Chains A and B, each alone.
Chain A
């Protein structure tokens, strides 16, 4: 096993453990506070999420992106026995892929909490606590390298999200929560069975009972894990289904629009910004490297579903009348493109997919945030209730247009880099897939420009909108870091591409070995 002593210690705990549990520590601290102590709650929220963000940046700074392969995990690896009887370990580690998503998570959580200070939120203490616990679940899922530990964090995320939608959600929140939980749970239970089964087969083949990815992945690619083709197929689908529900890939997507519409603004931002990305992350971390043969075999099927998703999501988005539902369907379309990129199986496409995971988190998060600004003031998400509000809310309009253009994939903003690299890579893998997927460029412009047009342009048709106030200070403070990144990552994406290059190359290499029979 790898050496468990890590070079960075912080308050006696290793840095990754601190990173995972610091937000929950904040949540615990909140329990000590009375419910009405608004400023104290805000201070704790800021402190916990701010410190977590700072810590993730510190990890980013310490991380050495030059190390290739699984060795990349080693410098910051945390490895302790957890349930020794079953070979389950407390195994944490980061590579470029998980690290960029961790930073995205900590940033978005900070932004969401800062943003929420500018809004009227009942039971603020519980709200903040739920987001902090959720953050622990998200970071934990991203840094866990033991399959069981991963599964635990994966399910931990479900609980706070359940409450966020169920308590702070809209009118049909109970229906939406149930749908969200059932879809996700159905997928993840399948994954849990697969995890147990996989470790059983692994133990039988190698004599080692372990759930460590650092053992599984080499075993899988060397063939030591002697899975039959049908076993591989079953395991692959058990994992892939759990992740594809989360993405969500057509036709498993119908929980998402309802969840988004009913979730409070912060919930929507995190849902779109991070939770969906955990689906695509799971594909890259588990489904493909563990079962490369099956992944290769089912690539055409998944690619077709993804292509349908790109067009279908966009097309249905264009028919929406509810702002949040429109943005939700746009996610279905955008994430389908990410899935297509992941399965295109070359470095260009997968790099683009990772870039787009980050980019979509920022732009779609922003779109939900700005819709939330309007909703807070007018309590309606219907586009027909707006129209021409650009005159009243020029700053919100400007931010919205930038985010919208980022989502449309305007070159110079972040969305373009991901989309361009995905399509370039897909084009290399299969020209017709690329041609079909590129229609998303046209459809994306249609529904996003329509949204902008119906809400912000035109004469003012609803009198109450004349009293609409612009985005306030806290809300703006939450939005600003995201807007800045939308621009910066558009003109200077190379640092992110460099950070994830080795992770991407590792996945592609593992996958490609088995692609050639």
Chain B
């Protein structure tokens, strides 16, 4: 029964290798056939000849039609990919639970929890002052993470079996998804920041590959690159932060957390700790899409929808919150850094929510919503409520995965239409999708007693209790906006009249069971998981937060009276209800058209004038980055190459070469091959030498 921890990431890795190699082989065979066919049709144009560049041929023919709407894979091959993909994650989930559940039981049974389980597998690298073991760690934080990640991951794999069945890249897709699970589980289970970094960059890689899954589409691979590069900006900070941790504690494995708790920082100035926290937080900002590095996440919606659910909502993007929570003992040593975390979180929450108000692409709404909710999590960490922040990570995973998978089901029902203006009235046509999505919508809006209420309310409570009234107000405002844009989404999608073409209306269909069952399970989760953390004011014991406590910094909790808590709860529910009502009124008008779904909303945006346009256009951030950063970057690069390399450096080289040539010409004047000339210069030389010797 003692299943080692390394099995948990290793199982999906095995799935990746198996699916990856089979998919590669099958892809190679298909490509060979296609190329051979093309060559047969174009004899003599093989580009294999010795001379000439055959490449500047006919050029643009726009071969858009080949690719992922191509032939269905044979049933057996599809079955293989699906079984390997689902089974490897399923087994990982079993091993994870077999480890996490006994641990959780033992931990809750004993007072103050039990110590972490650390298993070292091999020495990864040791040189000089750096020594890193490939070691895994089971403690309350990783036990919680590994449980929900494997569980939600498994559901999303099952969902993908149905959702991706028409794809030619089915095998490649499952290989990437398994690789992602491997990386994410490594990230969670790692016992040192450097091993965590394997997972950290690994999930970034899978994100890159899966966003660019439709690699023949320009928007997809561009979005993938944007995600990777933006994350790398964060990783730049992360790497330096790791070095900082090494300098502070002499080790990067998580024993430094205990050292930090004991206050055993090598007698360094607090500015150093502050800098290290900021650097680590920069990594978190990149991975968890916070301002200013959030720009990649909305574009990441170019990937298949289950990917958005798994990677860009439930798991990977919460890694930044996990990192801050993991290093919370260090962060509390630098209170200013925590304040910054709180402000970045709150700022992101409200900023992303404003953009979410005016998006028409169903996935874009959810993407900005995710950015905004991640902001909430950082807000919680920033005010010292790390356990509550992780609680929101946990509940958010259920309702946001449900929302994304639901949107996937809607998009499939609509035959790849994502614009909500062309939807409407889908509730009757896709009842299971509709019901489950509505549950998740209510949950994210913060209506009791669904999951989102408990976690969000505690975040607001923690901000209020810590005396951060402005942060609290921002959080409250965001809660109202969240309720608004989510019910706007629900109203535009499921209610009213269908606004698309009649043909499109006829083709709308409910999704198969492989897709609806995960939706139902996640909806059930959205209702239930909140009860794990019922606060004391409502008669609970907040088990979730107290279970995590041993892994986190010992925050000094500010206690609120129960009466105050009731007022705060009423306030947040009230604001959410107001948001819902507004959305319902604005987007419920009859006679809405695809162009103008709501006259009232239109009027509002027009009235707000410039501000409305700003929001609709996402504050023109992408355009600003292009003008201020990317374009100068490219121009300077070209200048250095054409200007500096070719003109200055080679100029100097060529000038000296010219001098040499000149000298050569002068010398050639003497080396004519004429023996008498040689004799002359020889005699002259001897004379000069003799003169020099004698006259010296």
Partners in one complex: yes
Interface positions, chain B 631-647, Cβ under 8 Å from A, are 633-634, 636-638, 640-641, 645
**Bound: A349/B47 CA distance, A:** 47
In the complex, are the beta carbons of B60 and A464 less than 8 A apart?
no
B216 at the interface (CB under 8 A from A): yes
In the assembled complex, the CB of A267 is this many whole angstroms from the nearest CB of chain B, namely 18
B196 to chain A, nearest CB (A): 10
B197 contacts across to A, CB distance below 8 A: 411
CA distance A321 to B66 in the complex (A): 27
| Contact status B243-A392, CB under 8 Å | no
Whole-angstrom distance from the CB of A144 to the nearest CB of chain B? 27
- The residue among B60, B221, B246 with the most chain A CB atoms within 10 A of its own CB is B221
A466 contacts across to B, CB distance below 8 A: 34-35, 38, 63
For the complex, is A202 an interface residue (Cβ under 8 Å from B)?
no
Which residues on B sit within 8 Å (CB–CB) of A351? 127-128
| A462 interfacial by beta-carbon distance below 8 Å | yes
Determine whether the beta carbon of A457 is less than 8 Å from that of B212: yes
Q: Which of B229-237, B349-357, B457-465, B565-573 forms contacts with chain A? A: B229-237
Evaluate contact between B243 and A182: CB separation under 8 angstroms: no
| Docked-complex contact B31 and A391, CB < 8 angstroms | yes
Q: Tell me if A385 is interfacial: C-beta within 8 Å of chain B.
A: yes
Q: Do A349 and B128 form a contact, CB below 8 Å, given A315-B640, A460-B216, A467-B46?
A: yes
Instruction: Tell me, in angstroms, the Cα distance from A390 to B62 when the chains sit together.
Output: 16
- Docked Cα-Cα span, A462 to B221, in Å, equals 18
8 Å CB contact of B31 from A183, A355, A470:
A470
B157 to chain A, nearest CB (A): 22
**Set of chain B residues within 8 Å of A183, measured between Cβ atoms:** 653
- Give the distance in Å from the alpha carbon of A369 to the alpha carbon of B232 in the complex: 27
| Residue B539 interfacial (CB < 8 Å) | no
Q: How far is the CB of A71 from chain B (nearest CB, A)?
A: 21
Tell whether A412 pairs with B61 under 8 Å between CB atoms, given A182-B657, A254-B645, A456-B215.
no
Q: Which of B27, B34, B45 has the most CB of A within 10 A?
A: B27
B residues 550-566 in Cβ contact with A at 8 Å: none
CA of A6 to CA of B236 in the docked complex: distance in angstroms? Answer: 50
Tell me if A467 and B55 are in contact (CB < 8 A): no
CB distance from A406 to the nearest CB of B (A): 12
Measured between beta carbons, the chain B residues less than 8 angstroms from A347 are 127-129
B4 shortest CB reach to chain A, Å: 17
Is A512 engaged at the interface, CB distance under 8 Å to the other chain?
no
A456 CA to B212 CA, complexed, in Å: 12
Q: Bound state CA distance, A438 and B645, in angstroms?
A: 23
Most chain A CB inside 10 Å of its own CB: which residue of B48, B128, B212, B229: B128
Q: Which of B92-147 contact A (CB under 8 A)?
A: 122-130, 134
User: Is residue B477 within 8 Å, beta carbon to beta carbon, of the partner chain?
Assistant: no
Interface of B is mostly: helix
- In the complex, chain A residues whose CB is within 8 Å of the CB of B649: 251, 253-254
A442 within 8 A of B: yes
The reply to whether A442 and B130 contact each other, CB–CB distance below 8 Å, is no
Contact partner of A316 among B42, B45, B200, B645, CB < 8 A? Answer: B645
A453-B222, A459-B217, A464-B57 given; A394·B201 CB < 8 A: no
CA distance A385 to B46 in the complex (A): 15
Cross-chain pair count, CB within 8 angstroms: 217
Closest to B650 in A: A254
Question: Across the two chains, which residue of chain A brings its CB closest to B204?
Answer: A410
CB-defined contacts of B205 to chain A, threshold 8 Å? 405, 410
Q: Which parts of A326-376 form the interface with B (CB within 8 Å)? A: 346-349, 351-352, 355
B13-64: which residues lie under 8 A (CB-CB) from chain A? 24, 27-28, 31-32, 34-35, 38-39, 42, 45-48, 50, 52-64
Q: Which residue of B lies closest to A446 (CB)?
A: B229
Query: Is the pair A461, B60 in contact by a Cβ cutoff of 8 Å?
Result: yes
Question: B194 contacts A420, CB within 8 Å?
Answer: yes
**How many angstroms between the C-alpha atoms of A74 and B66 in the bound complex?**
64
Q: In the bound complex, what is the Cα–Cα distance between A427 and B200 (angstroms)? A: 21
Return the contact of A392 from the options B34, B59, B638 (Cβ within 8 A). Answer: B34
Closest to B197 in A: A411
Q: Which residue on A lies nearest to B182, using beta carbons?
A: A412
Which of B55, B208, B228, B247 has the largest count of A CB atoms less than 10 A from its CB?
A: B55
Whether the pair A380, B55 counts as a contact (CB closer than 8 A) is yes
**A315-B637, A467-B45, A494-B124 are known contacts. Are A424 and B130 too (CB-CB below 8 A)?**
yes
Known contacts A316-B637, A395-B24; is A459 also within 8 Å of B216 by CB? Answer: yes
A38 in the interface (beta carbon within 8 A): no
- Residues from 210 to 245 in B contacting A, C-beta threshold 8 Å: 212, 215-218, 220-222, 225, 228-229, 232-233, 235-236, 239-240, 243
Q: Is B406's beta carbon under 8 Å from chain A?
A: no
Q: Kindly state the separation between the CA atoms of A385 and B58 in the bound complex, as whole angstroms.
A: 11
Report if A441 contacts B (CB, 8 A): yes
User: Who on chain B is nearest to A325 by CB?
Assistant: B641
CB-based nearest B residue for A389: B31
Does B243 lie within 8 Å of A449, measured CB to CB? no
A464 to chain B, nearest CB (A): 5
Residue from A179, A398, A411, A504 having most chain B Cβ neighbours under 10 A: A411
Asked whether any CB of chain B lies closer than 8 Å to the CB of A478, the reply is no
Interface check A160, CB cutoff 8 A: no
Find chain A residues with CB under 8 A from B45 CB: 464, 467
A463 at the interface (CB under 8 A from B): yes
Q: Is B597 engaged at the interface, CB distance under 8 Å to the other chain? A: no
Q: Contact: A394 with B24, CB < 8 Å?
A: yes
CA gap between A388 and B66 in the complex, in Å: 11
**With known contacts A346-B128, A494-B126, A312–B24 Cβ distance under 8 A:** no
Contact flag A441-B236 (CB < 8 Å), given A251-B649, A319-B640, A391-B66: yes
Least Cβ distance of A20 to chain B in Å?
30
Which A residues from 400 to 430 make CB contacts under 8 A with B?
405, 410-412, 417, 420-421, 423-425, 427-428
How many Å from the CB of A351 to the closest CB on chain B?
4
**Residue contact B216 to A410, C-beta cutoff 8 Å:** no
From A445, which residue of chain B is reached at the shortest CB distance? B232
Question: CB-CB < 8 A to B263: which residues of A?
Answer: none
CA distance A394 to B494 in the complex (A): 42
Which chain B residues lie closer than 8 Å to A39 at the CB level?
A: none
User: A435 at the A/B interface (Cβ < 8 Å)?
Assistant: yes
**Is B198 close to A, CB under 8 A?**
yes
Asked if B67 is at the interface (CB within 8 A of a chain A CB), the reply is yes
Please tell me if B12 contacts chain A, counting CB pairs below 8 Å: no
Whether A459 and B64, one on each chain, are in contact in the complex, defined by CB atoms closer than 8 angstroms, is yes
Contacts A377-B48, A428-B247, A442-B236 given: A470-B32 contact, CB under 8 Å?
yes
Do B637 and A318 touch across chains, with their CB atoms under 8 A apart? Answer: yes
The answer to whether A288 has its CB under 8 Å from any CB of chain B is: no
Chain A residues near B31: list those with CB within 8 A. 391-394, 470
CB closest residue in chain B, given A252 = B649
CB distance B28 to A441 under 8 Å? no
Question: Is B480's beta carbon under 8 Å from chain A?
Answer: no
Residue of A nearest to B50 (CB): A120
State the Cβ distance, B182 to closest chain A Cβ, in Å: 10
Distance of A504 Cα from B194 Cα, bound (Å): 23
A86 within 8 A of B: no
**Given known contacts A316-B641, A377-B47, A423-B243, A458 and B221 CB-to-CB distance under 8 angstroms:** yes
Partner of A379, one of B39, B55, B63: B55
Q: How many angstroms from the CA of A154 to the CA of B55 in the assembled complex?
A: 39
A497 on interface, CB distance cutoff 8 Å? yes
- B637: chain A residues within 8 A (beta carbon): 315-316, 318-319
Residues of chain B within 8 A (CB-CB) of A449 are: 208, 225, 228-229
Q: Verify if B202 is at the interface (C-beta below 8 Å from A).
A: yes
Inter-chain pairs besides A312-B640, A348-B130, A438-B240, 12 sampled, C-beta below 8 Å: A316-B645, A318-B637, A346-B129, A378-B55, A411-B201, A421-B128, A423-B243, A449-B229, A459-B217, A460-B66, A467-B39, A470-B28
Give 9 closest A-B pairs by Cβ, nearest first: A348-B128, A347-B128, A319-B637, A351-B127, A457-B221, A385-B55, A427-B243, A380-B55, A394-B27
* Pairs across A and B, CB under 8 Å, 13 listed: A346-B128, A379-B53, A382-B55, A412-B198, A417-B125, A427-B243, A427-B246, A439-B236, A449-B208, A457-B216, A458-B218, A460-B216, A466-B34
